[in-house]
Each structure stands twice: as C-alpha cells, then as structure tokens.
C-alpha cells in the first residue's frame, strides 16, 4: 500500500528515520558505555550488558493507541527494511537506518492453534508460534538480523572494516550467524565453534552450506563458550552469541508479534519458552515490559520458562522461594534431546534475575514461572504435537511439556491460553525422532518410546515370480502391469482396503 493511502495521523510515523540515544547498560555496576565499539561485557566489572535507549521517554508521548495503529499499518508497507522485525523499529534498534537493515525473511512467524485433541491433552487451549519458519529454521534469525544490521550500520556509516563474526553454538546460533554473514558482499566473514558430536547433522550442514569456517571443539557448549569469550577479549572479532546485547533486541520482536496477533490483549496469555543460554527468555520479558511501559498493552502476560531435568540451573535457582536465599550454581549438563538448550551455565542469567524481579514487581509473583520436565516428557510431547499438525522441534516439545506440567500443577488460571514456542523446525532435530521411532536412545537420555507413538516405513515385497522395477531394469509393459497389480493388491491388503 502507498503511503498517501494510510490514515493521516500515522503518515508521518510510517517510515521511521534513525532516532534515539543508545548505550550499553551494565547489569552489575550500572555503568553506561557508548555503542560506537562492540562491547560484550562491562570494561569496569565484567558483567553482561543490555542496550538502553536513554531517550526512551520520547516514545511515551505518542500513546498506546497511536503505536498500535502504526505497527498494524506498517504490515501493509513493502519497504524491505520494514518487512521483518523492524516493523517495531522504535523499540529494537531505532538508531539503525532502514538502509542498513539486513532482511533475509525473518520474523512474522505463524501462530497455529492446537486442535481439540492436543488442547485437551495439554489441559488448556494453546497455540504454537512456529519460529522454525524463520530463514535458518530457528528463532535465532531474529537476533542475528538485529546484530548483523547493526554491524552493517557500523560498516556503512562508521568506517568499520573486515569483521570476523564468530560464535559458539549448540547448532542454531551458528546456522543463523553463518547465513547472515554470507549475505554480505564484503566486510564480513564468519567462523563458528561447535561442540564436536553435539549438534545434529542438519545443524552442521547449515554453516558449511553458508560457507563459514566451522571449527569443532571437544566438550560441550559451555566449553566452546569459554573459548569464544577468550577470543572476543583478545582478538578483533565480533561475538555473535547472545552475550552480544544486539541479539536480545532483535529477539524482543517475538513478544511484539504475539501482542499484535492477539490485538494487544495479552493479559490472559501464558507465553512458554525453553531456557538454554537464557537469551530468549531475557528478550521475551524485556519485550513485554517495553510494551507495557508504552501503554501498547494494558497488562503483562505470564511467562513460563522451561528446562530439562538434564540441564536445569535456572529451574534450581527459582526453586528457592526466598529471593534473599537464592544462589546461582551452574550445573553439569547431561545428555538432552533438547540439545539447543543443553546449557549448564547460562550467559544471560544476570539479565534474567534483573528482569524477573521487574516483571514480578509489575505483574505479580505468578507472572514468571519456571518448570522442569523429563527427557521422556520432552520426546513424548514433541512426537504427539507433530502427530497433530505441528512442526515442533525437541525444544518445542520441551515447551509444550512444560506448559502441560504447569497446568497440571495448578499454577495456570482457568482462563489462560498458552503460546508455546516451537523454537526451531522439526527437521533440524529429526535424529531424535529417528531414535524414538527406532527405540535407539542411548541409556543416558532416559527415553523409552511409547509403542503407540512409534512409526516406521513398511516395505512392499515382490516375490520371485513378480517382475520388479527396483533392480534398475526397465520393465516391458506387460511385466510392468503384473508388477502394478501385485503392488496395488499388497498396499490394499496392508491398508485394509476393500474393492468398491
Ligand atoms: C538457542 C535455542 C534455544 C535456547 O535459547 P536461549 O536463548 O539460549 O535460552 C532453544 N531452542 C532452540 C531451537 C534454540 O536454537
Ligand atoms: Zn559494570
């Protein structure tokens, strides 16, 4: 739609120009640092950072009603810079000119309602939000679009040169980083560090396909993370992990899209997300807090963090009801099918602590909950979801299992509707489905497939006297008819079909 066809009051705001005053804010000592340089931890105290718009209050003058109209109408524009997550430009990177936005098709992922059978099983109606329908097939693209758009801005407008983008990954971060880096014609190359043998073949294939240097490190993700942190402190590289606060900004778009999909009435929602390095839950909390602050929503939704029993440091931390007595302890992770969240020492833990406190202050103690689920529950939930029309990965299964658990434990009000994050596409994690169907889980996973959920292909045999095209030989037409008759009869027999 053309600009002149939009309502007059929003025309001046449709196409945003760079604005705002951004700084890194340290969550440890409160110091603020300029954003001209890439910074991942506070130079003064080494704590993690978040990005703050010091001129934020200007946005409050607009009023929630106008903001809602602007965001809704922007979806009818065709500018590439506004097609993805930057529809919410003022909230997630307003200093970045639209010309620097790197858009590869991220964001605006579908919200798909659970059918009656699955909703009944979960105990409440709910939706999956399919973030596996992002370009590299996980939600990580939201944060990468933000981090790479900012890099592009530094390159185009501030003379930054020859950036090596580097990250440690449980698989999806590297797929996303390599994809966005590969779009640059010059100025950016990428290298990714993966825990050897701890990512799926699909996730390994993605950065290779995007042309990134792929380095496999013995150990688990937490070990890789230490190596890239060392690199980012001692070499000129751009760290693309969620320690990079620009990633968090982009991932906030997940909350904005949910609000928009529910016409900004989110008060009865419970938004469930898996927790690994805790960047995602940080962004989701921060996103809804910003919407509330600008009166774009009237009340906060509940947020449910979900962890596996095999990688549960955040769950253990919030188990302790008395905030004074809580002590964060990293855990040693065990084998998890929710491999993308198999992290024992989440980098964003200080962000989570700070935001959960704020969120509970405004939304009540129940506004943020954390549950843990077993590996068995993760797999059963994923398999069952996908037998009911979804495309959930194992982390999506984890999330659904967590929502069902919260419902069964009575901590979910009767009116609540769930929004469950399918953080990646099922195909990325198909090896776990395969292990389930073939009853091939190594004992450390502690998963035993349920017979009624198993599935396997059935082969149509041809006995010796029936000609078969399977051998590579071209059949004569008469032979071929014999084969077709036989195969059709076999298929009909197996499926219990009766001639009509
Ligand atoms: C990264 C990832 C997670 C975990 O998100 P964090 O931000 O690390 O907590 C969950 N699911 C998938 C598919 C992921 O790629
Ligand atoms: Zn500090």
85 pLDDT above the threshold of 80: yes
Beta bridge partners of 168: 193
pLDDT of amino acid 270: 98
Is the predicted pLDDT of residue 471 greater than 80, yes or no? no
Give me the phi and psi of 130, to 5 degrees please. Answer: -85, 80
Q: Is the CB of 258 under 6 A from ligand 1?
A: no
Ligand 1 pocket, 142 CB below 6 A?
A: no
What pLDDT, on the 0 to 100 scale, is given for residue 170?
87
Q: Is the pLDDT of residue 173 over 80?
A: yes
Note residues around ion ligand 2 (Cβ under 5 angstroms): 26, 28-29, 31, 42, 44-45, 47
Mean pLDDT of 372-386: 98
- The mean per-residue pLDDT over the stretch 335-354 comes to 96
For residue 276 and ligand 1, the question of a CB distance below 6 A is answered with yes
- How far is Cα 485 from Cα 499, in angstroms, rounded to an integer? 13
Q: Which protein residue has the closest C-alpha to ligand 1 atom 4?
A: 276
Residues contacting residue 386 through CB under 8 Å, at least 6 positions apart = 392, 426, 433
pLDDT over 80 at 439, yes or no: yes
Res 383: pLDDT: 98
Report whether pLDDT(4) > 90.
no
Distances (CA, A) of 402 to 123, 304, 372, 420: 12, 8, 7, 9
Q: Determine the topology of domain 111-135+252-453 in CATH.
A: Rossmann fold (3.40.50)
User: How much is the mean pLDDT over the chain?
Assistant: 96
Ligand 1 in contact with 144 (CB < 6 A)? no
Domain ranges of the chain: 111-135+252-453, 139-250, 459-500
Q: Is the pLDDT of residue 372 over 80?
A: yes
Rounded distance from Cα 280 to ligand 1 centre (Å):
7
Ligand located closest to 27 CA: 2
**Domain 139-250 adopts which CATH fold?**
Rossmann fold (3.40.50)
Q: Is 282 in the pocket of ligand 1 (CB under 6 A)?
A: no
What's the confidence (pLDDT) of residue 385? 98
Distance (angstroms) between ligand 1 centre and the Cα of 65 equals: 33
172 lines ligand 1 (CB under 6 A): yes
Phi, then psi, of 425 in degrees rounded to 5: -80, 140
Contact 168, 221 (CB under 8 A): yes
Asked if 142 and 179 count as a contact pair (C-beta separation under 8 A), the reply is no
Q: What is the pLDDT of residue 289?
A: 98
Q: Percent of the chain scored above 70 by pLDDT?
A: 100
pLDDT(472) > 90: no
Protein residue closest via CA to atom 1 of ligand 1: 340
Q: Tell me: the pLDDT tens digits for 252-300? A: 999 999 999 999 999 999 999 999 999 999 999 999 999 999 999 999 9
Please tell me if the domain spanning 111-135+252-453 has the same topology as the one spanning 139-250. yes
Distance 356 CA to ligand 2 centre (A): 20
Whether 393 is in the pocket of ligand 1, judged by its Cβ within 6 Å, is: yes
Q: How far is the CA of 77 from the centre of ligand 2 (A)?
A: 41
Assess contact for 479 and 407: CB atoms under 8 A: no
pTM of the model: 0.96
Tens digit of each residue's pLDDT (9 = 90 or more) over 128-163? 999 999 999 999 999 999 999 999 999 999 999 999
Atom of ligand 1 nearest to the CA of 171: 15
* Cβ of 174 below 6 Å from ligand 1: no
d(CA 208, CA 215): 10
| pLDDT value for 470 | 83
pLDDT at position 41: 94
Bridge-partner residues for 306, per DSSP? 274, 371
Rounded to an integer, the average pLDDT of 27-52 is 95
The pLDDT of residue 437? 98
Asked whether residue 16 carries a pLDDT value surpassing 90, the answer given is yes
Supply the residue whose CA is at minimum distance from atom 15 of ligand 1. Answer: 172
């Amino acid at each position: 739609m053309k600009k002149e066809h939009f309502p007059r009051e929003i025309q001046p705001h449709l196409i945003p120009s760079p604005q705002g005053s951004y700084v890194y804010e340290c969550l440890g000592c409160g110091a603020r640092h300029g954003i001209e340089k890439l910074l991942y931890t506070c130079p003064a105290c080494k704590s993690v950072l978040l990005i703050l718009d010091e001129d934020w209050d200007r946005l409050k003058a607009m009023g929630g009603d106008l903001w809602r109209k602007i965001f809704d109408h922007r979806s009818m524009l065709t500018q590439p810079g506004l097609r993805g997550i930057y529809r919410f430009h003022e909230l997630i990177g307003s200093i970045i000119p639209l010309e620097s936005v790197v858009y590869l098709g991220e964001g605006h992922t579908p919200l798909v309602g659970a059918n009656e059978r699955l909703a009944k099983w979960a105990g409440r109606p709910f939706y999956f939000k399919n973030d596996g329908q992002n370009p590299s097939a996980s939600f990580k693209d939201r944060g990468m679009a933000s981090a790479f758009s900012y890099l592009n801005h530094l390159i185009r407008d501030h003379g930054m040169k020859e950036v090596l983008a580097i990250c440690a990954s449980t698989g999806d971060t590297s797929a996303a980083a390599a994809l966005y880096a590969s779009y640059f014609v010059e100025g950016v190359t990428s290298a990714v560090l993966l825990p050897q043998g701890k990512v799926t073949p699909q996730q390994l294939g993605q950065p290779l396909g995007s042309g990134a240097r792929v380095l496999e490190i013995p150990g688990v993700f937490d070990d890789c993370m230490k190596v890239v942190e060392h690199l980012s402190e001692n070499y000129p590289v751009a760290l693309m992990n969620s320690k990079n606060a620009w990633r968090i900004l982009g991932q906030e778009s997940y909350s904005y899209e949910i609000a928009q999909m529910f016409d900004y009435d989110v008060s009865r929602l419970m938004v469930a997300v898996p927790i690994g390095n805790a960047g995602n839950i940080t962004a989701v909390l921060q996103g809804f807090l910003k919407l509330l602050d600008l009166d774009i929503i009237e009340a906060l939704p509940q947020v449910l963090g979900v962890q596996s029993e095999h990688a549960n440091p955040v769950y253990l931390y919030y188990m302790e009801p008395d905030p004074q007595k809580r002590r964060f302890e990293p855990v040693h992770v065990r084998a998890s099918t929710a491999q993308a969240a198999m992290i024992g020492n989440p980098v964003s833990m200080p962000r989570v602590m700070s935001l959960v406190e704020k969120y509970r202050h405004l939304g009540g103690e129940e506004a943020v909950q954390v549950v843990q689920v077993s590996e068995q529950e993760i797999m059963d939930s994923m398999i069952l979801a996908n037998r009911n029309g979804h495309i959930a990965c194992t982390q999506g299964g984890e999330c659904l299992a967590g929502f069902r658990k919260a419902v069964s434990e009575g901590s979910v009000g009767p009116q609540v509707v769930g929004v469950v994050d399918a953080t990646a596409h099922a195909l990325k994690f198909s090896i776990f489905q395969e292990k389930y169907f073939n009853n091939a889980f190594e004992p450390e996973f502690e998963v035993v497939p349920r017979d009624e959920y198993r599935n396997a292909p059935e082969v149509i045999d041809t006995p010796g006297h029936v000609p078969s095209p399977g051998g590579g030989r071209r059949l004569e037409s008469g032979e071929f008819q014999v084969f077709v008759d036989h195969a059709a009869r076999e298929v009909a027999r197996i499926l219990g079909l009766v001639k009509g």
